[in-house]
Amino acid sequence: MNQDQAHDLLQRLVTRVDRVIVGKKREIELAVVAMLYGGHILLEDVPGVGKTMLVRTLAACLGGSFGRIQFTSDLMPSDVTGITVYHAQSGQFEFRPGPVFSHIVLADEINRAAPRTQSALLEAMEERKVTVDGVTRALPKPFLLLATQNPLEYEGTYRLPEAQLDRFLMRLTLGYPNPEQELEMLGRLQEQHPLAELKPVLLPDEIAAMQRQVRGVLVDDVVKRYMVSLADASRRHPQISLGISPRGTLAWMGASQAMAYFKGRSFVTPDDVKAVAEAVLVHRIVLKTEAKIAGISGERVLKELLAKVDVPIFARVSGAPS
């Protein structure tokens, strides 16, 4: 598959998802960019704005297997990863895989499960493997986890630890539609839900091929230096207690490569880097207590950092067209 064919397929994918999720094209594009890098997504927003529907729509358009995990306080790790069952008649053990053994996994209301169950996802998210009863099994390729959580309801929830947050490539919010978009949504869903008519645009093998091509997108040294400078500035910022980790910088570069590929280019520009910065970096920044009390947000601090760190300017990227 050449780059032009990939670009056309990705635009068709965004258009098809946009038929269901009205007025959220930017968020759809960022979700597709995360998929291209093979990164996981945390969807954090109030109830009823389409978080779960976005995941179901992406799954329907991507054509792979889909697993859903409804996180509750009594959910056990084995409900996520699977369980080994002994058959008395045959005298053998059989592994029954859990819903995590799918190409696309929806972890709905992930913060309602106890930390022990949440931690069952760490190996899957980082290594694309799951270990049950001492046996390690690979997850299908590609593997994409999309988790949702409600920021307003805290009763019966458990805060996601920084170690797990850092493993999400992006954190996205959808927000409410404007009146015109909501009116359009009512018209589309009046008779039949458009999700019922969706057909796959991409197959798992095609997604995996695109992910391999994304790794080859050129990132010039001046762009890398810009990202490292901003990450270093976050670690020395007076209002930040925990800045962007090296894993965060690596994720930022990968998401920038995926954004460039999504736009049909073989090289990363500073615009690509800034386009994914908020989605990739804000949830990796932990503010000091006094900053939180003062009402300062991670988005605001990141905007300050982006404004202070000089953006690289170059006439031509090595390997890019003149």
Q: To the nearest 10°, report the CA torsion of 277, 311, 38, 129.
A: -90
Q: 143 with 263, same domain?
A: no
Q: Is 58 exposed, middle or buried (0-12, 13-18, 19+ CB in 10 A)?
A: buried
The pLDDT score that the predictor gives to residue 153 is 60
* Tens-place pLDDT, residues 310-319: 888 764 544 4
Residue 291 has, within 13 A of its CA and on its CB side, a CA count of: 16
Whether the predicted model's global pTM rises above the 0.85 cut: yes
Please indicate, yes or no, whether residues 227 and 189 belong to a single structural domain of this protein. no
Same domain, 185 and 290: no
Q: Are residues 57 and 197 in the same domain?
A: yes
Q: Across the chain, what does the average pLDDT equal?
A: 89
Of 92-106, 155-169, 180-194, the least confident:
155-169
pLDDT in tens, 153-177: 666 677 787 778 888 999 999 989 9
In the predicted model, is pLDDT for residue 11 greater than 50? yes
Residue 180 shares a structural domain with residue 61? yes
**Contact (Cβ atoms closer than 8 angstroms) between residue 1 and residue 34:** no
Tokens of 285: 């920044």
Q: Tell me: the pLDDT tens digits for 230-266? A: 999 999 999 999 999 999 999 999 999 999 999 999 9
Q: Which residues contact 123 (CB under 8 A, 6 or more apart)?
A: 129, 130, 131
Helix intervals (H) in the chain: 3-18, 25-37, 51-62, 77-81, 115-127, 162-165, 179-188, 204-214, 221-235, 246-262, 270-281, 289-293, 298-308
DSSP 166-218: TTEEEEE---PPPHHHHHHHHHHTTTS-GGGG---SS-HHHHHHHHHHHTTSB
Coil, helix or strand at residue 132: strand
pLDDT band with cut points at 50, 70 and 90 for residue 224: very high
In sequence order, which residues have a C-beta less than 8 Å from that of residue 77 and are 6 or more positions away? Answer: 116, 117, 119, 120
What is the mean pLDDT of the segment spanning 189-201?
A: 82
Choose one of 179, 214, 249: the last residue of a domain: 214
pLDDT of residue 25: 92
**Per-residue pLDDT, 73:** 86
- The answer on pLDDT for 107 being more than 90 is yes
Percent of the chain with pLDDT over 70: 96
Residue that has been written with the tokens 């930022």 in this structure: 252
Is residue 263 domain-shared with residue 301, that is, in the same domain?
yes
pLDDT at site 155:
64
CA-nearest of 122, 119, 120, 42 to 82 is 120
Specify the CATH number for the domain of residue 44: 3.40.50.300
Place of tokens 């978080």: 51
Supply the range of the domain harboring residue 126.
1-214
pLDDT, residue 180, reads 92
Domain count, the chain: 2
169, 186, 214 - which closes a domain: 214
Q: Other CB atoms closer than 10 Å to residue 97's CB: what's the count?
A: 16
Radius of gyration, CA atoms only, the chain? 21
Most confident residue range from 1-5, 49-53, 114-118: 49-53
pLDDT at 321: 45
Q: Confidence band (pLDDT; 50, 70, 90) for 61?
A: very high
What pLDDT is stored for residue 156 in this prediction?
66
Q: Are residues 15 and 160 in the same domain?
A: yes
Same domain, 19 and 141: yes
